[in-house]
Structure 1
Amino acid sequence: MGLRILITGASGFIGGRVTAAAMTTAEAGHVRLLARRPLDVPATGPQGTPAVETVRGDLRDPDSLRRACEGVDVLVHCASAIGGDEETARAVNDEGTRALVDAAVRAGVGRIVALGTASVHGRGPFRGAAPGTL
């Protein structure tokens, strides 16, 4: 059957490459992409590649995160807000990531992988979060 993988940020630079890799790996049985807007991704690829499903959702919408995490074995979190205002960055990168991890834990997701860059922090000034708070 293979792993059921949820990927966030599939339309981005890092997430797009993670998606391409997941769609060609034999270990993946099903790849679910969480996207704010529809993605042009084929539902099936060549024989032996996983089925692909795109679901609409947003890191600022906990209900969409709960639905996206249902039945998933692995979460690969690549989504972020970069270059916007501080309020949006906090809502997506901090609160949204926290809500996504909470939804994944509640859904019984066995493995969570978070990818990102220093760009999610913006230009500064930086205020560090206390260890164990995210």
Structure 2
Amino acid sequence: MKILVTGGAGFIGSNLVRRALAQGWEVGVLDNLSTGYRANLDGLDVELFEGSLLDPDLLARACSGVEAVVHLAALGSVPRSIVDPVSSHLTNATGTLLVLEQARRSGVGQVIVSSSSSVYGMNPALPKSEREWVRPMSPYAVSKLAAEQYTLAYQQSFGLTTLAFRFFNVFGPYQRAGHVYAAVIPKFVDALLADEPLVVFGDGTSSRDFTYVGTVCEVLLAAVRGRVTSPEPVNLAFGTNTTLLNLIAALTEATGLTPEVSFQAPRSGDVPHSQADSTRLRTLFPDVSPVTLTEGLRHTLDWFRELTG
């Protein structure tokens, strides 16, 4: 099996690359290293195509001889998209379209694309089903909705085997803090271990469906192995609902450290609550058992401690 992982030097991508290599697969990585890290691939037997999705020649070379593409490359973060909506659109929407088109031209057998739970936006329903209406609240969310819809359109228009996953809040090793657009768990862990205040936007009652990266990778690899497809998006989360206050309590219990919490005004574009209806996911992948938040936080803390020495 030969696969291409776009964004393979990033957080989810590098975890996926490791697991694919462990199964004896041949792996190529396309990454411009704008948010990924070359160090994430150190010691791994991969072919790195360094550059942009928007470079047609590079994309063609990366897709040559590939059986499946797992398209994870994206410019993440709601706040970043509000500062620079055009860059988010070009990477997430246009970039996905170019990946799909090159896969079609290159005869790639399957394309799996990462969308986002942010597409649900203003829809208050919990849990959120794939057939619920969507109302994105940020340029990032709009760009991911475009990406998933292009993915489904290529399935219907060209017969390309595709699968669009709506990722929720993925966390785990190789998800770094230390930058303004870092996700909440690495930011909390980094601050907690450094004895710094944990910054909470809002009153801490906003909630998320946190999913451990190892579970996400298990689903992605199962999708490639089984050539799984779906005419609709599929939530990739298991229906948990954890408030930020509960997350802080879990980190406190896991570390024995009691953090100071700094409450600040809510951020524009942030969704207050997020929880997946996992019915479709469990139907397609009945053998996948999710790693619990407690266990996932333990693995994450171990990685952070190793990183910081």
TM range (shorter): 0.7 to 0.9
Task: Write the distance in 2 (CA, Å) between the matches of 1:14 and 1:43.
Answer: 15
Name the amino acid aligned to 2:58.
S
Structure 2 matches for 1:97-116, cutoff 5 A?
97-116=96-115
Q: Is the 8 A contact 1:66 1:107 kept in 2?
A: yes
DSSP-derived class of the 1:64 partner: helix
Name the amino acid aligned to 1:35.
D
Task: Write the distance in 2 (CA, Å) between the matches of 1:43 and 1:19.
Answer: 8
Residue 33 in structure 1 maps to residue 7 in structure 2: no
Cα offsets for 1:3-58 (capped at 9, x unmatched): 111001112222122112112113x1x100111147243353xxxxxxx2111121
Name the amino acid aligned to 1:6.
L
Q: Is the 8 A contact 2:9 2:29 kept in 1?
A: no
Task: Write the distance in 2 (CA, Å) between the matches of 1:102 and 1:34.
Answer: 16
Task: Write the distance in 2 (CA, Å) between the matches of 1:77 and 1:4.
Answer: 14
Task: Write the distance in 2 (CA, Å) between the matches of 1:20 and 1:70.
Answer: 21
User: Which residue in the other structure is 2:138 paired with?
Assistant: 124
> If the length of structure 2 is used for normalisation, what is the TM-score?
0.36
Task: Write the distance in 1 (CA, Å) between the matches of 2:91 and 2:118.
Answer: 13
Name the amino acid aligned to 1:14.
I
Name the amino acid aligned to 2:138.
G
Q: Is the 8 A contact 1:43 1:53 kept in 2?
A: no
Identity value in percent: 33
DSSP-derived class of the 1:10 partner: coil
Q: Which structure 2 segments of 5+ residues have no match?
A: 122-135, 155-309
- Which of 2, 11, 14 aligns to 1:13? It is 11
| Cα 1:43/1:17, change in 2 over 3 Å | closer
Cα offsets for 1:66-92 (capped at 9, x unmatched): 111011111011110122411001101
- Higher relative CO (Cα under 8 Å, sequence separation at least 6) belongs to 1
| Cα 1:66/1:119, change in 2 over 3 Å | farther
Aligned residues: 123
Task: Write the distance in 2 (CA, Å) between the matches of 1:117 and 1:57.
Answer: 23
Computing the radius of gyration from Cα coordinates, the structure with the larger value is 2
Name the amino acid aligned to 1:66.
A
DSSP-derived class of the 1:115 partner: strand
- Which of 59, 64, 85 aligns to 1:65? It is 59
Bigger helix fraction: 2
> If the length of structure 1 is used for normalisation, what is the TM-score?
0.76
Q: Is the 8 A contact 2:18 2:44 kept in 1?
A: no
Q: Which structure 1 segments of 5+ residues have no match?
A: 45-51
